[in-house]
Structure 1
Amino acid sequence: MTNRPPASLPESRSSAREIDAFLKEAHRVAAPAAGAARLVFALDATMSRQPTWDMASRVQAAMFHAAAAVGGLSVQLVYFRGFRECRASRWVADPRRLAELMGKIRCEAGETQIARVLGHVLEEGGREPIRALVYVGDAMEEGLDGLCAKAGQLGLLGVKAFMFHEGGQDGVAAAYGEIARLTGGAAFAFDSRAPAELEALLRAVAAYAAGGRAELDRLAARDAGARRLAASLPRLGGPGGRP
């Protein structure tokens, strides 16, 4: 994982310099408070997601605003695209800052790099606890066994993976579901024609990451997305299924 593009690659439509400048600025402001709950938000930005990217970006930005409203949450944005480009922001206390970065990212053709995302979260979680990983994608072009091995390790660290699947590929949905299950998290399909449902679920994940199961249950009393998420989480988990 790097905050700089490989030197051999040309700059894309979304300027690498512009993104690097944003990341450097994010390093200087909104540093997370000690002890803040942590959430990694990871995106597949390969070309297959281009048709619905603008809609998804708006919905995902709404999650950052919801996370800021909950408070006490530190968020890191990770995305991959193109030829082995996989980048991570620093941890920031005001997730709304990351909504700005979302607007600078454009999709590029490439294969999925879910293993790199999971490996990155393992490294980060080994240094400081991470409560949740949110992953949004529509494909999987990697070996499931290796991904499941990493997911099991995440479960042992107590990192719940919330896997959001766009599109109707049954094999991909099943793989996402297995990754989520091994962490004690949950997997959901979403339809680009129904952005409100995705937004509600992402808002519920932010509440869970910031305040744990108690905060999620409080939100579920008045929010359908939170009720759906709460119903998908085990009260007592297997590996990584802590509340």
Structure 2
Amino acid sequence: MSKSLTTNPSSDVSAFLKKSKAIRRVVERQSRLMFALDATASREPTWERARALHNELFTAAVTGSSLALQLAYYRGFNEFVASPWLTAASELQAHMSAVACQGGPTQIGRVLRHYLATSTPATPVRALVFIGDAMEESAKELCQLAAQCGVRKQPVFLFQEGHDNNVAGVFEQMAKNSGGAYAQFDANSAERLRSLLEAVVRFTSGGHKALTSSGTEAGKLLLSQLPRRD
């Protein structure tokens, strides 16, 4: 058997292992942000505008950064979908464009359990953004799940569409329990939502320092609620 035949397989394996290790290191260094949406029927009137805004935000978030995003949503009566971790704006837009609203109950607890299960010491998820307008589950259970996120230093940023006071109270407590933040927006405040999401992206990538240096009103709002950890 020739020398080339006896040495090439070993060389190929070695090169493959080195490449795999390099890829793993890159993945482990990426800042991960989970982006979860209520896609039930109550959000349908504002869905197209929100989807366009989210696409713009996704593009800005991943361009020129090491940020990886996962899109999750629930709709219907038992549908919950979570995308792979994505770093290309085109992939994120394709996933978002495929989502349409369907009637059904809220599944916020399912979102939180997914968030807790997905984040690991090797590949931590820096934050969860949740956008929704309703809450039809046990407030006690949701607040307990949010507290588990807080113990594990996994903040939840809850952005409420509309002004339902009962929802607001639960979302605020969830944000507090998790070490995250809460804010409201409506159909006439798309720019407010954009600035809030941009602030979360800054936090995910650079922590409190990035929010402080931004000097934006959205950054100040989040900083006023976030516990100091870095």
Q: TM-score range by the shorter chain?
A: 0.7 to 0.9
Greater helix share, structure number: 2
1:162 aligns with 2:157: yes
TM-score of the pair, normalised by structure 1: 0.80
Matched with 2:181 is: 186
SS of 1:163's equivalent in the other structure is strand
Q: Aligned runs of 1:105-144 on 2, under 5 Å?
A: 105-126=99-120, 128-144=123-139
SS of 1:78's equivalent in the other structure is strand
C-alpha separation in 2, matches of 1:181 and 1:66 = 28
How far is the alpha carbon of 1:95 from its aligned partner? 4.7
Give identity over the alignment, percent: 40
Instruction: Answer with 1 or 2: which has the greater Rg.
Output: 2
Contact kept, 8 Å, 2:62 with 2:68, in 1: the verdict is no
Q: Aligned runs of 1:96-111 on 2, under 5 Å?
A: 97-111=91-105
Matched with 1:5 is: none
Residues 230/94 of structure 1: CA separation in 2 closer, same or farther (3 Å cut): farther
1:226 aligns with 2:190: no
Which fold has the larger relative contact order, with Cα–Cα distance below 8 Å and residues 6 or more apart in sequence? 1
SS of 2:119's equivalent in the other structure is helix
Q: Aligned runs of 1:38-77 on 2, under 5 Å?
A: 38-69=32-63, 71-77=65-71
Residue among 145, 161, 167 paired with 1:172: 167
Measured against aligned partners, the alpha-carbon deviations of 1:163-189 in whole angstroms (never above 9, x if no partner) come to 000111100011111111001110100
How far is the alpha carbon of 1:66 from its aligned partner? 2.5
TM-score of the pair, normalised by structure 2: 0.84
Counting matched residue pairs gives 206
How far is the alpha carbon of 1:231 from its aligned partner? 2.6
- Runs of 4+ aligned residues of structure 1 deviating over 4 Å after TM superposition are none
Q: Aligned runs of 1:23-38 on 2, under 5 Å?
A: 33-38=27-32
C-alpha separation in 2, matches of 1:96 and 1:181 = 34
How far is the alpha carbon of 1:139 from its aligned partner? 0.3
Matched with 2:144 is: 149
Residues 70/156 of structure 1: CA separation in 2 closer, same or farther (3 Å cut): farther
Residues 234/150 of structure 1: CA separation in 2 closer, same or farther (3 Å cut): same
Residues 229/95 of structure 1: CA separation in 2 closer, same or farther (3 Å cut): farther
- Structure 2 unaligned segments of length 5 or more: list them: 1-23
Measured against aligned partners, the alpha-carbon deviations of 1:18-58 in whole angstroms (never above 9, x if no partner) come to xxxxxxxxxxxxx9733111110000000000000011112
- Structure 1 unaligned segments of length 5 or more: list them: 1-30, 236-241
SS of 2:27's equivalent in the other structure is coil
Q: Aligned runs of 1:16-27 on 2, under 5 Å?
A: none
Matched with 1:20 is: none
1:41 maps to amino acid: F
Contact kept, 8 Å, 1:70 with 1:206, in 2: the verdict is no
Contact kept, 8 Å, 1:66 with 1:206, in 2: the verdict is no
C-alpha separation in 2, matches of 1:137 and 1:121 = 16
SS of 2:68's equivalent in the other structure is strand
Residue among 195, 203, 208 paired with 2:203: 208
C-alpha separation in 2, matches of 1:50 and 1:194 = 16
Matched with 1:24 is: none
C-alpha separation in 2, matches of 1:189 and 1:170 = 11
